[in-house]
């Protein structure tokens, strides 16, 4: 086994010393480039001056894009508008959020949050990569997907309701699901497992890679998820091998039929220092058809945990490696699908890799070595470097041939003119920096609407800063995130607005309002007439089944009785047919609190665990008689219960 070492002069020589980087960030050594504004906000003749007095419905007509930003440790998604930078909604997913009717008392939610492999209910998550569905490598407005890094699961939101409809759990893995992306027509989702693992013995034996449970090194996988026409996700395959993987992109255009991903720990170390021993790391090129062929040829096993998911060895599929800057994190495809752009966060280098040249090297079998049986392609023949600044992270693209690379340590974004087919369009020197955009501070991900598709919309850039420091008034030691809106269809690129957002956004995508607004559901489709309110007692199972309706300003029934210790199964329908009339159902002295939208029906399950009179009431101020909208659950000790105490319709 021969590991590749780059011979290209200068590559890997500009590694940022880790100790210095940590010291810089830890000391908060960041200098603001803004001076205090003079005069009133919005003064002047510009398209972002807000009218005074404000006209009703102004933002409804001015908003251009919905932005969907991952909430990180919040466990869900934030939705805000561009250019208003105003928060519109939250989509609870892996977290519990009673305000949005997302709790364990909700039968459907509890089922989604239950790990099918362990039976454990998991109510915390770490959302990272939002992925909008697409057709022909362009957004189509059907669904939004996101992954949970902590618990190795993914979710699908329907964009007509902005609500979660499915959570799919990944087998054979106990966490660390990171990079996540969609194929050009959202029939296949591909994801990476960032943390190396110690899978069950059957998988370890099949891989035949020496690993040690205590000392390491370990193994990891890349996985595929099939998406049906109705959006239903299903685990399709896993390819296991010696490396962990960070970011991933599924190709289109020139790279159609392939996906690429990176590994920042090709050293296979189990500690931070060991992950910096090589001068460079790898970007991998995977042929999707070869994975499907391995399955067709029965070159796989299945695990005891997931007997229906093929587990394939890395050496049984077509995969190639090429060098990339040390400890990469940014990995993105420009709109034609020809160039992959990789930033090495422990360097000053942003590398552009030409897939047409990569494919030519593959076809000619021009390799410079191999590692673990994977052929290695020369970086000298397929790529070039831009020495652009300290700590390059993520990259986005506009529709004019420019890429935007964020820099964590420099706290800025570089606007770079791309080469290849884009040179004629922008007329600038290929791969040259044309603008530097200050950020406040320490750039993580970036967002250009459509910036990861074949046709970006351009115009706006959102900089998602990891640190905020002095941007907003003090609010304690845990500081809000800062999303900054920049206009990019002009140079220099001006800062338009800054938005505080709760922690911690990792990635965001944005789609035109007109693509979503025309299909957004105002009221849930309700079967008419709704079920007649009723209470049924099941003495065999010791359960009470309550059918209830909510309408301004009544719950029907407005009381019911139940023996102590019995389970309550409540079917609650909001029979309103008016937009924006949501109701809630909160039960005092019980951990039950739900929100329910017009026309929606929810199944709520809990136990009447103690005797007494417990009021339930509406959570949303739905009418002038909102406070009167309440009812009673009367719990009778079981020894005092008789059938005469059953609820009866009035």
Residue 539, domain CATH = 2.60.40.420
The pLDDT tens digits of the residues spanning 349-372 come to: 999 999 999 999 999 999 999 999
* DSSP strands (E only) in 488-530: 495-501, 508-512
CB 127 within 8 A of CB 77: yes
Residues 447 and 539 in one domain: no
Long-range residue pairs from 102-110, CB within 8 A, at least 24 positions apart, any chain: 102/164, 103/591, 103/592, 103/593, 103/594, 104/591, 105/591, 105/592, 105/593, 105/594, 105/604, 105/605, 105/606, 106/594, 106/602, 106/603, 106/604, 107/603, 107/604, 107/605, 108/602, 108/603, 110/605
**Distance from chain centroid for Cα 490:** 30
Listed residue (128, 172, 170) closest to 149, CA to CA: 128
Listed residue (357, 314, 131, 354) closest to 223, CA to CA: 314
pLDDT of residue 523 exceeding 60: yes
Residues 507 and 601 in one domain: no
Q: Is residue 528 part of a domain?
A: no
Residues 549 and 575 in one domain: yes
The whole-number pLDDT of residue 228 equals: 98
Q: Is residue 3 part of a domain?
A: no
Task: Map 166-216 to HEC letters.
Answer: EEEECCCCCCCEEEEEECCCCCEEEEEECCCECCCHHHHHHHCCCCCCCCC
Please give the residue range of the domain that contains residue 561: 534-645
Residues 439 and 468 in one domain: yes
CA-to-CA dists, residue 480 to 470, 472, 603, 628, angstroms:
11, 9, 35, 38
Distance between CA atoms of residues 196 and 343, nearest Å:
22
Task: Tell me how many domains the chain contains.
Answer: 2
Euclidean distance between the first and final Cα of the chain, in Å?
Answer: 82
What the block records as the tokens of 501 is: 């957002």
Listed residue (413, 520, 411, 451) closest to 130, CA to CA: 451
Length of the chain: 650
Distance between CA atoms of residues 266 and 246, nearest Å:
11
Angle formed at CA 68 by CA 147 and CA 145, multiple of 5 degrees? 30
pLDDT of residue 9 exceeding 50: no
Q: How confident is the model at residue 45 (pLDDT cuts 50, 70, 90)?
A: low
Q: Is residue 392 part of a domain?
A: yes
The pLDDT tens digits of the residues spanning 308-338 come to: 999 999 999 999 999 999 999 989 999 999 9
pLDDT of residue 38 exceeding 90: no
Dihedral angle sign, alpha carbons of residues 633, 101, 127, 131: positive
CB 130 within 8 A of CB 68: yes
Dihedrals phi, psi of 321, to nearest 5 degrees? -120, 150
Distance between CA atoms of residues 342 and 377, nearest Å:
16
CB 598 within 8 A of CB 161: no
Q: Which residues pair with 384 in a beta bridge?
A: 352
What DSSP designation does 361 have? Answer: H
Judge residue 580's burial from the number of C-beta atoms within 10 Å of its C-beta, 0-12 exposed, 13-18 middle, 19 or more buried: exposed
Sheet holding 328-333, edge to edge: 328-333, 339-344, 349-354, 383-387
Residues 370 and 240 in one domain: yes
What the block records as the tokens of 616 is: 């339930």
Residue 644: CB atoms within 10 Å: 6
Distance between CA atoms of residues 337 and 183, nearest Å:
12
Cα atoms in the Cβ-side hemisphere of radius 13 Å centred on 398: 23
Q: Which residues pair with 495 in a beta bridge?
A: 486
Listed residue (373, 263, 375, 369) closest to 315, CA to CA: 373
pLDDT of residue 30 exceeding 50: no
Last residue of a domain, one of 487, 517, 547: 517
Last residue of a domain, one of 517, 549, 576: 517
Distance between CA atoms of residues 544 and 647, nearest Å:
10
Listed residue (406, 388, 403) closest to 443, CA to CA: 406
Residues 482 and 582 in one domain: no
Residues 560 and 473 in one domain: no
What the block records as the tokens of 104 is: 């364990």
Listed residue (355, 191, 347) closest to 281, CA to CA: 347
The whole-number pLDDT of residue 34 equals: 36
What the block records as the tokens of 209 is: 């890679």
Percent of the chain whose predicted confidence (pLDDT) is above 90: 86
CB 485 within 8 A of CB 85: yes
Residues 322 and 418 in one domain: yes
CB 112 within 8 A of CB 166: yes
The whole-number pLDDT of residue 44 equals: 56
Q: Is residue 501 part of a domain?
A: yes
Lowest-confidence pick of 3-12, 61-70, 139-148, 484-493 = 3-12
Lowest-confidence pick of 35-44, 124-133, 437-446, 511-520 = 35-44
The whole-number pLDDT of residue 98 equals: 87
Mark out the alpha helices in 344-422 (DSSP H runs): 355-363
Confidence (pTM): 0.92
pLDDT of residue 79 exceeding 60: yes
CB 593 within 8 A of CB 619: yes
Listed residue (295, 322, 290, 323) closest to 310, CA to CA: 295
Residues 232 and 316 in one domain: yes
pLDDT of residue 37 exceeding 70: no
What is the rounded average pLDDT of the residues 419-447?
A: 95
Residues 487 and 611 in one domain: no
What the block records as the tokens of 410 is: 């420099």
What the block records as the tokens of 247 is: 């970011």
The pLDDT tens digits of the residues spanning 439-473 come to: 999 999 999 999 999 999 989 999 999 999 999 99
What is the rounded average pLDDT of the residues 571-590?
A: 95
CB 450 within 8 A of CB 467: no
The whole-number pLDDT of residue 46 equals: 75
Residues 385 and 494 in one domain: yes
Percent of the chain whose predicted confidence (pLDDT) is above 70: 93
Number of alpha helices (DSSP H) and beta strands (DSSP E) in the chain: 8, 41
pLDDT of residue 495 exceeding 60: yes
What is the rounded average pLDDT of the residues 531-546?
A: 96
Q: What is the mean pLDDT of the chain?
A: 91
The whole-number pLDDT of residue 7 equals: 41
User: Between the ranges 46-55, 218-227, 474-483, 519-528, where is the mean pLDDT highest?
Assistant: 218-227
The whole-number pLDDT of residue 50 equals: 81
What the block records as the tokens of 456 is: 């970006």
Dihedrals phi, psi of 424, to nearest 5 degrees? -65, -30
Lowest-confidence pick of 23-32, 150-159, 395-404 = 23-32
Mark out the alpha helices in 71-191 (DSSP H runs): 107-112
Q: Is residue 650 part of a domain?
A: no
Last residue of a domain, one of 517, 543, 578: 517
* Residue whose structure tokens are 């040249």: 357
Distance between CA atoms of residues 118 and 201, nearest Å:
18
What is the rounded average pLDDT of the residues 151-156?
A: 97
Distance between CA atoms of residues 341 and 417, nearest Å:
13
Q: What is the CATH number of the domain that holds 174?
A: 2.130.10.10
What is the rounded average pLDDT of the residues 231-254?
A: 97
CB 398 within 8 A of CB 422: no
Q: How confident is the model at residue 634 (pLDDT cuts 50, 70, 90)?
A: very high
CA-to-CA dists, residue 567 to 248, 531, 573, angstroms:
46, 21, 19
The whole-number pLDDT of residue 10 equals: 43
**Distance from chain centroid for Cα 270:** 26
Listed residue (275, 252, 220) closest to 338, CA to CA: 252
Q: How confident is the model at residue 417 (pLDDT cuts 50, 70, 90)?
A: very high
Judge residue 318's burial from the number of C-beta atoms within 10 Å of its C-beta, 0-12 exposed, 13-18 middle, 19 or more buried: middle
Residues 377 and 483 in one domain: yes
Q: Is residue 1 part of a domain?
A: no
Q: Is residue 592 part of a domain?
A: yes
What is the rounded average pLDDT of the residues 9-22?
A: 41
What is the rounded average pLDDT of the residues 366-390?
A: 96
The whole-number pLDDT of residue 51 equals: 84
Q: How confident is the model at residue 69 (pLDDT cuts 50, 70, 90)?
A: very high
């Amino acid at each position: 086994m021969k590991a590749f070492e780059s011979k290209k002069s200068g590559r890997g020589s500009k590694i940022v010393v880790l100790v210095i980087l940590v010291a810089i960030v830890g000391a908060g050594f960041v200098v603001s480039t803004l001076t205090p504004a003079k005069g009133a906000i919005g003064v002047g003749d510009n398209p972002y001056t807000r009218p005074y007095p404000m006209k009703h419905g102004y933002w409804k007509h001015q908003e251009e894009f919905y932005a969907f930003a991952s909430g990180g440790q919040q466990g869900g998604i934030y939705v805000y508008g561009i250019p208003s930078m105003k928060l519109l909604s939250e989509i609870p997913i892996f977290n519990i959020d009673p305000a949005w009717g997302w709790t364990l008392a909700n039968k459907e939610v509890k089922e989604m949050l239950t790990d099918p492999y362990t039976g454990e209910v998991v109510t915390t998550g770490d959302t990272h990569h939002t992925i909008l569905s697409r057709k022909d490598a362009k957004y189509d407005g059907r669904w939004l997907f996101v992954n949970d890094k902590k618990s190795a699961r993914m979710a699908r939101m329907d964009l007509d309701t902005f609500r979660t409809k499915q959570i799919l759990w990944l087998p054979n893995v106990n966490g660390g699901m990171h990079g996540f992306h969609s194929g050009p027509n959202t029939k296949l989702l591909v994801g990476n497992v960032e943390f190396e693992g110690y899978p069950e013995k059957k998988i370890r034996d099949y891989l035949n890679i020496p690993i040690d449970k205590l000392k390491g090194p370990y193994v990891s996988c890349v996985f595929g998820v099939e998406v049906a026409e109705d959006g239903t996700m299903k685990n399709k395959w896993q390819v296991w091998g010696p490396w962990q993987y960070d970011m991933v992109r599924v190709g289109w255009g020139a790279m159609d039929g392939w996906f690429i991903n990176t590994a920042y720990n090709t050293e296979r170390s189990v500690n931070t220092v060991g992950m910096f021993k090589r001068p460079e790391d790898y970007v991998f090129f995977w042929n999707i058809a070869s994975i499907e062929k391995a399955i067709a040829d029965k070159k796989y096993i299945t695990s005891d945990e997931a007997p229906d998911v093929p587990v394939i060895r890395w050496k049984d599929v077509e995969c190639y490696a090429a060098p990339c800057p040390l400890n990469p994190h940014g990995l993105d495809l420009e709109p034609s699908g020809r160039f992959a752009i990789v930033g090495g966060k422990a360097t000053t280098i942003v590398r552009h890799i030409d897939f047409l040249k990569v494919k030519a090297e593959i076809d000619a079998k021009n390799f410079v070595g191999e590692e673990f049986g994977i052929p290695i392609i020369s970086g000298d023949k397929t790529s070039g470097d831009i020495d652009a600044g300290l700590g390059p992270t993520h990259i986005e693209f506009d529709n004019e041939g420019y890429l935007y690379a964020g820099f964590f340590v420099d706290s800025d974004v570089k606007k770079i003119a791309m080469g290849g087919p884009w040179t004629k369009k922008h007329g600038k020197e290929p791969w040259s920096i044309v603008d530097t955009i200050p950020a406040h501070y320490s750039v993580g991900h970036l967002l250009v609407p459509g910036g990861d598709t074949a046709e970006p919309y351009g115009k706006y850039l959102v900089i998602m800063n990891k640190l905020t420091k002095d941007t907003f008034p003090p609010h304690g030691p845990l500081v809000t995130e800062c999303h900054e809106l920049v206009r990019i269809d002009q140079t220099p690129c001006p800062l338009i607005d800054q938005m505080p957002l709760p922690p911690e956004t990792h990635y965001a995508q944005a789609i035109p309002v007109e693509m979503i607004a025309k299909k957004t559901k105002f009221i849930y489709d309700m079967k008419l007439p709704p079920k007649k309110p009723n209470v049924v007692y099941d003495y065999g199972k010791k359960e009470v089944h309550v059918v209830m309706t909510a309408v301004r300003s009544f719950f029907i029934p407005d009381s019911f009785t139940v023996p102590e210790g019995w389970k309550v199964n409540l079917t609650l329908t909001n029979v309103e047919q008016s937009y924006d009339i949501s109701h809630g159902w909160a039960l005092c002295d019980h951990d039950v609190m739900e929100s329910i939208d017009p026309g929606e029906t929810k199944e709520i399950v809990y136990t009447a665990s103690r005797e007494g009179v417990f009021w339930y009431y509406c959570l949303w101020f739905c009418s002038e008689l909102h406070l009167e909208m309440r009812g009673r659950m009367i719990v009778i000790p079981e020894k005092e219960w008789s059938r005469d105490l059953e609820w009866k319709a009035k």
